[in-house]
Structure 1
Amino acid sequence: MSTPSPSAKNRILDAANRLFYGEGIRAVSVDAIATRAGLTKKTLYYHFKSKDDLIEAYLASRDQPNLALFRKWFDEAEGDLADKAEAIFVNLAQSARHPKWKGCGFLRTAAELANMPGHPAMKVGADHKKKFEAWLCEVFGEGRTADPDELARHIVLLMDGAFSTVLVHHDPAYIESAGRAAREVVTNALCTPPKSKAPLR
């Protein structure tokens, strides 16, 4: 039984993912994406009104797969919350050692669109980062850590700082160092009693 071929829209998105992630959104033309997808530019514009729409769709297509991967790394790790938090960084460092790894597509796109804060892809990227932070806050809250909101934000800052530093130095060891820092931060939060709400008077 033959496998059905992907739709034209999926072929375009797949090509956009490979080219935008590999080379950057400004360096890649619509013509290059159409050629990579094996379609005409007219067909591409039938599915996406503009390159900006395609950039937005490119990031949106990476949202859930990336979040699911972070959850998988977290859930599969043994140990307490600190071990699990560090495991995200350990796995990320392993991914960063792959020759095709180019860092965080959301941060790289935001950097290229820094002078266009109203671009729809900027909202997609911001929403993705907030979803990751909200998920961390949820798991830290369930683990009864002190101030899970602040703890989640600390991990996000370590994560995005690691992403940025590796792009500069091309050394995944920085991600591993960030992971050890994350472990220490979470361990300290586990040792501190959660803040209790003031009683009603």
Structure 2
Amino acid sequence: MTKAKGDTKEKIVQAANTLFYLLGVKATSVDAIADKAGVTKRTVYYHFASKDDLIAAYLRSRDQQNLAAYQQAFAEQDGEVTDKVAAIFANVARATSHPKWRGCGFQRTAGELANKPGHPAMKAASRHKKNVEQWLTEAFSAAGLAAPALTARQVFLLLEGALSSMLIHHDPAYITDAGQAAAALVAQHALEAN
């Protein structure tokens, strides 16, 4: 019985993930999510106290997969830490060039809910962004960079700005250029460490 509950909840989150990402959180109704998941609206509310809780679950479902994509690009790239950072941005440039890419789900959701700073989804978005920054700090510390936390924050800001610019301009050159700036920044911090 617990497995069936978990499967149903997962189906609802998957449906929300698809529709919230495609249409936005405000434009997507709970009825549409229930229909997409093949359940009743009552079932959705059995698993989630509110649409706000479902929006937060949608973002939490994206947290580890997005972070894992950054980590994989970094880990699989041979060479120096600068090459690894450039690989993150190259991977993002490829992903954002896909015709179904609609922007960073965290940024888009935060934009829709900007007037609700205490919203559970805003907290989930903040947690994800902090997770990315923390992972970068750890990676830069392991690489022996000077000021790993500062370097991580600066690279993170370049990544966030690149994602935002890509959403507006639909030009992966913004991400590529941000990746070059991030690699140069990391190279500078590597020199300072020696």
Shorter-chain TM-score: what band?
over 0.9
Alpha-carbon displacement from aligned partner over 1:107-144 (angstroms, at most 9, x marks no partner): 11111110000001111111111111111111111111
Q: Distance in 2 between matches of 1:115 and 1:23?
A: 19
Alpha-carbon displacement from aligned partner over 1:126-180 (angstroms, at most 9, x marks no partner): 1111111111111111111111111000011000000110111011111111111
Task: Give the equivalent residue in structure 1 for 2:64.
Answer: 64
1:185 aligned counterpart, secondary structure:
helix
TM normalised by structure 1 equals 0.92
Task: Give the equivalent residue in structure 1 for 2:31.
Answer: 31
Unaligned stretches of 5+ in structure 2? none
Q: Distance in 2 between matches of 1:166 and 1:193?
A: 33
> 1:103 offset after TM fit, Å?
1.6
Q: Which has the higher helix share?
A: 2
Q: Distance in 2 between matches of 1:117 and 1:125?
A: 11
Letter in 1 for 2:10: N
1:55 aligned counterpart, secondary structure:
helix
Task: Give the equivalent residue in structure 2 for 1:199.
Answer: none
Runs of 4+ in 1 over 6 A off after TM superposition: none
Unaligned stretches of 5+ in structure 1? 195-201
2:193 aligned counterpart, secondary structure:
coil
1:132 aligned counterpart, secondary structure:
helix
Task: Give the equivalent residue in structure 2 for 1:161.
Answer: 161
> 1:193 offset after TM fit, Å?
2.3
Letter in 2 for 1:108: R
Q: Distance in 2 between matches of 1:141 and 1:123?
A: 26
> 1:187 offset after TM fit, Å?
0.7
1:171 aligned counterpart, secondary structure:
coil
Q: Distance in 2 between matches of 1:65 and 1:170?
A: 23
1:128 aligned counterpart, secondary structure:
helix
Letter in 1 for 2:105: G
Letter in 2 for 1:96: T
Task: Give the equivalent residue in structure 1 for 2:177.
Answer: 177
After TM superposition, list the pairs within 5 Å mapping 1:1-201 onto structure 2.
7-193=7-193
Identical aligned residues as a percent: 54
1:7 aligned counterpart, secondary structure:
helix
> 1:69 offset after TM fit, Å?
1.2
Letter in 1 for 2:124: V
> 1:68 offset after TM fit, Å?
1.1
Q: Distance in 1 between matches of 2:173 and 2:21?
A: 22
Letter in 2 for 1:140: F
Letter in 2 for 1:137: T
CA RMSD of aligned residues (A): 1.3
Alpha-carbon displacement from aligned partner over 1:92-115 (angstroms, at most 9, x marks no partner): 100011111112111111111100
TM normalised by structure 2 equals 0.95
Larger radius of gyration: 1
